Amino acid sequence: MLLGSPHNLMSTINPGILSIFNRLCSTRNIQMIILLITSFPLTMVRAESPKITPVDVSRGLTKAVLVENEVDTLDKALRKQVVHMLDTKDFDGLDKMAKDLRGSREQRVTGKWVLDSFYKAFIWDNPQNKEFLTEAEIVSSMNKVDEWVKGRPNSVTARIVLASLWFKYAWLARGTGFAGGVSAEGWTQMKQREGTASNILTGTRKLTESCPRWWYLMLSIAKDEGWEKWRYDALFNECVATYPDYKSAYFARVLNLQPRWHGEAGEWERFAAESADKLGGANGDKFYAQLIWAVDATHWYYTRERYNGKLFADFTISYPRVKKGFEDMLKSRPDSIALLSEFCHLSCAGGDRQRAAISFVQLAGRVDTQVWNSEAAFNTCRDGVFMVNEGNPTSPKSFQ
């Protein structure tokens, strides 16, 4: 039998199957099959580009309510635990917790390690609620940590916590205002206290155990002291060689490279892009978004109360890459208020009303105080996106 012959091939097919095949080949069924095939790609396109409906707009304009994002909730719970352990002198427990976090390398959605949250628990402020550590509170914590250091002289964690408190104490002397408003006494006290912090950190070099937070603190002091570029870069490179996935070192360097500190125009943007490129792919895009997020969180470059794009206007930042990074992160954490809020804010700044509107719909009036410092700030941005003052806000046509 010649298999190449159509007649012979058809004669080998089971008659029942052949009957079904003939019915499928009717004109009507062929038209239906063609319709399904041709409409499938269009369905996929619509799924990738969601439209804003009147119902969505109504949800997006839900009355604003201040909320705490999941990162803040987790950090506050950790802080409560850490403070209790310090107050009860559970130094063994604190050392074990820090060691476990170093080993796990667990990250928050921001890219910062939970280990960073552990250390920040000792120097925690809440600027949004105007809650700041007082000098008395810092000194009290120092006395407790001094006891920890003396009782466990080989604890790298205890020494880094003590250095962190001295660093915090230094900035308390300086204040958070512009440099021109700092008194001579403030500068002197800051230099002395940061010098103490630096000496404590230098003393940990003799210990067998290391910690990535050591480099973060040293990089922060180096920025304040205005180290020469080669010296700062050597410190940074040492950190990433030891802990290549410790993103806080990159966040510290991004600040140091800005023109307001020790960088030249375009330098920090190139560093951010190159650092993300080394990772490549989706991970690189996510890292890029986190780096821009870190800059945005400094609150330095534009007023969050206003709907504008000064961050993207003042610097050479790729909004499409930021957007891709946030979209990739949201795939694994679609309900993250922290992610949705920051993505929404950067979408507003980047002039992407479509994406910002989607985020506002998903937030449904929830105001993350880490992004917007008031309901009014949130409303101003949202009203600009939905053009509340320019016509009927329930009309989705402008997003189509």
- Domain map of the chain by residue range? 6-40, 52-69+268-400, 76-256
Read off the amino acid at residue 175: G
Label residue 368 left, alpha or beta by phi (over 0 means left) and psi (-120 to 50 means alpha). Answer: beta
Burial tier of 258 (Cβ tally within 10 Å: 0-12, 13-18, 19+): buried
CB atoms within 10 A of CB 51: 11
Higher pLDDT, 11 or 129: 129
* Residue-level pLDDT at 260: 87
Residue 377: pLDDT band (50, 70, 90) is: confident
Cα end-to-end span (Å), the chain = 61
Beta bridge partners of residue 66, listed in sequence order: 367
Higher pLDDT, 236 or 308: 236
Token pair for residue 113? 């390690």
Would you say residue 257 has pLDDT above 60?
yes
Out of 22-26, 167-171, 175-179, 284-288, which region has the weakest mean confidence (pLDDT)?
Answer: 22-26
Report the pLDDT averaged over residues 76-98.
Answer: 97
* Residue-level pLDDT at 30: 39
Higher pLDDT, 38 or 183: 183
Would you say residue 94 has pLDDT above 50?
yes
pLDDT digits (tens, 9 = 90+) for 295-322: 998 866 544 444 455 788 889 999 999 9
The CA angle 180-186-187, to the nearest 5 degrees, is 70
Q: How far apart are CA 222 and CA 52, in angstroms?
A: 48
